[in-house]
Each structure stands twice: as structure tokens, then as C-alpha cells.
Amino acid sequence: MKKYIFSVLAVCLLFLNDSLAQEHSIPEIPRINAELAYLKYKNGSVIIIDAMSQITYTKYHILGAINLPADEGPRAQERIRAAKLPIPLDKEIIVYCD
């Protein structure tokens, strides 16, 4: 199972490699490689947000990731408020998408 989680994480975070990050870069958003993201995930120091559609999330999400589809906009904020999820301020947030 751990190998599967790492594989999914590696594939999803492939979009954050240097060449794609430079091509679609927003300077103020830091990038992270899959290996470092996995280490942080493994030690529990990050929150992982999955920005894929709910259908894609259901099939391919990283275990423990929170699904907030990018195309959902304000509805995602409403869903977060309704769920009353605790948001720890001491953790980094890693967002991935397809």
C-alpha cells in the first residue's frame, strides 16, 4: 500500500518538476519535488490538497488528501466551512492536480 501511495504521489507531483514549473510558473508559489513531498507526507508535517475533479479524486487520490476541485470555486469554501475541518496552522499545504 505504501508503495502505491508513493507511486500515485510521484505521478501526481510529476507536474511540479523543474521544466513544467518553469513553463507554468507563478513566482510567488514555491515548488516541491515528489521525493521531498513524500517525506513530508510520511512524517505528517503537511496537509495534502487534491485539486482534481471529484471523479478523478475517487479513482486516483493520495490517501489522506482533501479533495477541493479547482473548478469548484466558492463552493469549495462552503464545503470546508460546513465540514468544520480543523486547519492546523503549523503544517505546510501541498496542492496537486492532474
What percent of the chain is modeled with pLDDT above 90?
Answer: 12
Contact 16, 33 (CB under 8 A): yes
Phi/psi at 94 (5° precision): -110, 125
Q: What is the pLDDT of residues 12-45, one digit of tens each?
A: 444 444 444 445 556 777 888 989 998 999 999 9
Q: Which three cell numbers stand for residue 75?
A: 463552493
Q: Class of 2-96 per CATH? A: alpha beta
How large is the average pLDDT for residues 62-72? 83
Taking all residues of the chain, what is their mean pLDDT, rounded to a whole number?
74
Q: What are the grid coordinates assigned to 90, written together?
A: 503549523
